[in-house]
Structure 1
Amino acid sequence: MSTPVILWLRRDLRLTDHPALVAAAASGPVIPIFIRDAAVDRLGAAAKWRLGEALRVFGARLADEGSRLILRRGNALDVLREVIAETGAEAVHWSRLYDPDAIERNTDVKSALKDAGITVESHAGHLLFEPWTVETKAGDPYKVYSPYWRAVAERDPGAPLSAPTLKAPRDWPDSDDLADWELGAAMNRGAEVLARYSDPGEKAAQTRLGVFIRDKVAHYKQARDMVAEDGTSGMSEYLTYGEISPRSLWAAGQRAMDEGKAGAETFLKEVVWREFAYHLMYHFPRIVDRNWREEWDGFPWKDDERLAEVKAWKQARTGVPFVDAALREMYVTGRMHNRARMIVASYLTKHCMIHWRVGQQWFEDCLTDWDPASNAMGWQWVAGSGPDAAPYFRIFNPETQAEKFDPEGDYRDRWVAEGQDDPPETARDYFAAIPRAWKMDMHGNYPDTPIVGLKEGRDAALDAYQNRPNAGED
């Protein structure tokens, strides 16, 4: 029996197309380990709950393969040292992450383990293309999506890898019990509601992708914006926890293009939009928590969490039905339709003039598909402070957006119970999930008027934009 190899798992809870797992399995018996460290503890309530579900399903999948998922809690370097000492492992493999905190942590861990004589290998797998491999002719990182797409559209990221055969070590190290971690504790009663709308795991991801490519991708270009339809791929949550790889999506999209399915290229562009977010986060880490465009530092956003506008927005009682429906969808399911995300973010940052960081942090707490790069870029793109080639100040009108993308009002009826004689379960579930301290029920009165009027908010936002400091630097 050869020396065991440690596979340090983070956001790569799958067997298929897992370069780090393949490399580890080729070297010896694999000890898969997930560490609950400070990065895990910083996750928002919904994301932490969903992580627990991903670990539960992946642990069962490993058991089916004759393996185990070892769970430990503590500082990552300390835990890895402990497991190395317990098992005699001489190598550690992991998949790379690209947010600033992960890069700092991984660099420190790799340096310390190598100094101790341990072989350490990091692998691709979370992205199609490593951020440092895509650059302009001048050798600079891209700052605009369209030329980035053109730069990678014809690249071949390679074929997805098959799941390897896993050899078990002679002796397994001790593991924590996942239930003892109580990863869903912060969700309180909302966890039971979320569970009804979640289908975690690699097999579920592969099934949904297959159905999407077979039945839906041909109409994706039009259907993806219709908020009441199930017209999107639904892959964001699975990508977040690595239950499916972006390369698997790319391969499926390419096959659909070869078959002449009209929406396939649009789907591939959305996969690359995620890549672009990671490209920006890697090269410009300030995008995570500061204005990407520094000239926006003087924009007069408000960031007081106690403001009535913030409370109304968080509780999905802004009085703008499209905005409230989207926020309630997020609270019930942990997800929000992408078109709706833009409307929700625009209303907060433009009509209400609230800092995008307030919304970003609320999404971080409430989204099961929270992603550090996509969330940051999405909020800044809508707010105006991020990468954007558009030469104007974008303000989405929720009413006209609803007329275009929810013409029959089905989406709003699905999520806003007030005013309906017999609201659907989806709308009722909002009141089953929210904190009791909010003192809301579906028989209450819906706001007669918006917390900030659409015309008044638009006029104020445009005035602030035109008179902001450094206005001439755009």
Structure 2
Amino acid sequence: MTDAPVILWFRRDLRLADQPMLAAAVASGRPLLPLFILDLETEALGAAAKWRLGLAVDEFARSLARIGLQLTLRRGSALAVLRALQVETGAGGVWWSRLYDPAAVARDTVVKAALKGQGLEARSFAGHLLHEPWDVATGAGGFYRVYTPFWRAVRARDIAAPAPAVRAARGVVDWPASDRLQEWRLGAAMQRGAAVVARHVRVGEAAAADRLAGFLDGPVAAYAEARNLPGVEGTSRLSENLTYGEIGVRSIWHAGMRAMHEGRAGAETFLREIVWREFAYHLIHHSPEIATRNWKPEWDGFPWRADNPDAEAWRRGMTGEPFVDAAMREMYVTGTMHNRGRMIVASYLTKHLMTDWRVGLRWFEDCLTDWDPAANAMGWQWAAGSGPDAAPYFRVFNPETQAEKFDPDAGYRRRFIAELTPDPGPDARAFFAAVPRSWQLDAQLPYPSPRVALAEGRARALAAYGARNS
């Protein structure tokens, strides 16, 4: 037994409830030293994600203060920071919650080996997922490559009840020096867009809990249908909070299960979407190449274009296809994009514009406040056709027919495209205030003509896909 302090290295687990690592640390009775590190991996985050992370860290520091703990902020290599802090404080170990993307795994593997090599305690905990990726296997002992069998394998599994929020904790006697969060300037790359997106974010654990409760009290009833309608408030919008661990996935699962057992329509569909996130992490753990290379190697010879002027028009929400442009503009105004929109813009870029999916993946990484390494990679490869559970090569989403089906009154398109209405609303106007000045966009400019005729783009994509399969 030891009374040496424990360094709690927080990353994407910024909450007090449903927090296995924190619960175990409090139960140990040892003095605790919470730490957040702006390391090389975190520095590499895209503009929107890094800005939103700063808000999450700031709010979490206040939550920790309410239970008697101070969050120490340090900048530098994770291992160097941890070693230095251990020497300063005499800490006996470092604990953290596991992450599963390739960059995090590489970093954490080095850190754990080095700390243990010094004779220090280095413990990692579950908490980011319902199931550890290595705990779900096929009958043959491999990993799942298709979602539906994965869902069947996990849907009836017991999930431990989430631990209640920690109410008090024992801190160290002398708190170490800490960086000032403002001096990190995590929002610098957002420039003027931060003020626009700030109106739409919901930061922190309390906001996440309110979102979940509000969704399950109403919108979940129509979720199976409404989740496809970008013009209505039909989804939980919890992806933003899940990204930073402001709510635990076990809390969401158990709340969703209660709603399902109470007979609320749509609850099971919602649970399936939670497991879709699990599936993405299952895949990125077992095949980390999904984040950077075609998951199906036979796609390596496909003639996608590198970045190009058509892709730049796509980035700017100026393709001349209103559904595509509305979705892109939603991202700049709110920091997120409706899932139906994500499918449409990804299909349009990779198929109608024949542009490499990695161009889109990197842009989403820079612009989404709810960016998730596993979901982003799987989503782009699904749309492109090169990934697991992918859309068949002949499925080319037509933005016009998709709009007729999922935005029949054009409300979503008008909400974000000022050029489509004589009296644009605040979100349509906000787009021009959010995007870089260098784009020189103005609501008075005429709406552009389509970059490519939809029939022509579809035929070109199918010809290329057909040649690959011949």
**TM-score, normalized by the shorter chain, greater than 0.5:** yes
Superposition deviation, residue 194 in structure 1: 1.2
The residue aligned with 2:177 is: 174
The residue aligned with 1:402 is: 403
Distance (whole Å) between structure 1 residues aligned to residue 228 and residue 459 of structure 2? 27
Contact 1:325/1:415 (8 A) holds in 2: yes
Contact 1:309/1:452 (8 A) holds in 2: no
Superposition deviation, residue 390 in structure 1: 5.6
The residue aligned with 1:314 is: 315
User: Secondary structure at the residue paired with 1:291?
Assistant: coil
The residue aligned with 1:381 is: 382
The residue aligned with 2:261 is: 258
**RMSD over aligned Cα, in angstroms?**
1.1
The residue aligned with 2:133 is: 131
Superposition deviation, residue 391 in structure 1: 5.1
Contact 2:48/2:190 (8 A) holds in 1: yes
Structure 1 residue identity aligned to 2:72: I
When residues 453 and 389 of structure 1 are mapped into structure 2, their CA distance, relative to the original with a 3 A threshold, is closer
Once the two structures are overlaid, the 10-residue window that deviates more, 258-267 or 159-168, is 159-168
The residue aligned with 2:365 is: 364
The residue aligned with 1:101 is: 103
Superposition deviation, residue 180 in structure 1: 0.3
Contact 2:383/2:390 (8 A) holds in 1: no
Distance (whole Å) between structure 2 residues aligned to residue 377 and residue 294 of structure 1? 15
Structure 2 residue identity aligned to 1:149: W
**Residue deviations 1:366-386, cap 9 Å, x none?**
000000000000000000000
The residue aligned with 2:445 is: 444
Distance (whole Å) between structure 2 residues aligned to residue 391 and residue 321 of structure 1? 24
Distance (whole Å) between structure 2 residues aligned to residue 370 and residue 390 of structure 1? 22
For structure 1, the residue ranges without an aligned partner over 5 or more in a row are none
Superposition deviation, residue 69 in structure 1: 1.1
Contact 1:90/1:119 (8 A) holds in 2: yes
When residues 228 and 220 of structure 1 are mapped into structure 2, their CA distance, relative to the original with a 3 A threshold, is same
State TM-score, norm by structure 2.
0.98
Superposition deviation, residue 389 in structure 1: 6.3
Distance (whole Å) between structure 1 residues aligned to residue 55 and residue 318 of structure 2? 30
Distance (whole Å) between structure 2 residues aligned to residue 389 and residue 450 of structure 1? 27
**Residue deviations 1:126-172, cap 9 Å, x none?**
00000000000100100000000000000012101112331111110
Distance (whole Å) between structure 2 residues aligned to residue 253 and residue 296 of structure 1? 38
Distance (whole Å) between structure 1 residues aligned to residue 240 and residue 286 of structure 2? 24
Distance (whole Å) between structure 2 residues aligned to residue 391 and residue 316 of structure 1? 26
Contact 1:92/1:120 (8 A) holds in 2: yes
User: Following superposition of structure 1 onto structure 2, how do residues 77-116 of structure 1 map, counting pairs within 5 Å?
Assistant: 77-116=79-118
Contact 2:414/2:420 (8 A) holds in 1: no
Superposition deviation, residue 420 in structure 1: 2.0
Contact 2:95/2:122 (8 A) holds in 1: yes
User: Secondary structure at the residue paired with 1:77?
Assistant: helix
Superposition deviation, residue 32 in structure 1: 0.8
Superposition deviation, residue 393 in structure 1: 2.4
Structure 2 residue identity aligned to 1:111: A
User: Secondary structure at the residue paired with 2:418?
Assistant: coil
Distance (whole Å) between structure 1 residues aligned to residue 89 and residue 16 of structure 2? 23
When residues 38 and 177 of structure 1 are mapped into structure 2, their CA distance, relative to the original with a 3 A threshold, is same
User: Following superposition of structure 1 onto structure 2, how do residues 75-474 of structure 1 map, counting pairs within 5 Å?
Assistant: 75-164=77-166, 165-303=168-306, 305=307, 307-388=308-389, 392-447=393-448, 449-468=449-468, 471=469
Distance (whole Å) between structure 2 residues aligned to residue 437 and residue 18 of structure 1? 43
- 2:44 aligned with 1:42: yes
Contact 1:382/1:394 (8 A) holds in 2: no
Superposition deviation, residue 394 in structure 1: 1.6
Structure 2 residue identity aligned to 1:163: A
Distance (whole Å) between structure 2 residues aligned to residue 62 and residue 193 of structure 1? 28
Distance (whole Å) between structure 1 residues aligned to residue 218 and residue 170 of structure 2? 38
User: Secondary structure at the residue paired with 2:465?
Assistant: helix
State TM-score, norm by structure 1.
0.97
Distance (whole Å) between structure 1 residues aligned to residue 381 and residue 201 of structure 2? 28
The residue aligned with 1:56 is: 58
User: Secondary structure at the residue paired with 1:121?
Assistant: strand
Distance (whole Å) between structure 2 residues aligned to residue 391 and residue 46 of structure 1? 32
Contact 1:5/1:92 (8 A) holds in 2: yes
- 2:35 aligned with 1:68: no
Distance (whole Å) between structure 1 residues aligned to residue 391 and residue 59 of structure 2? 43
Structure 2 residue identity aligned to 1:39: E
Structure 1 residue identity aligned to 2:408: P
Contact 2:64/2:71 (8 A) holds in 1: yes
Contact 1:6/1:92 (8 A) holds in 2: yes
Superposition deviation, residue 62 in structure 1: 1.2
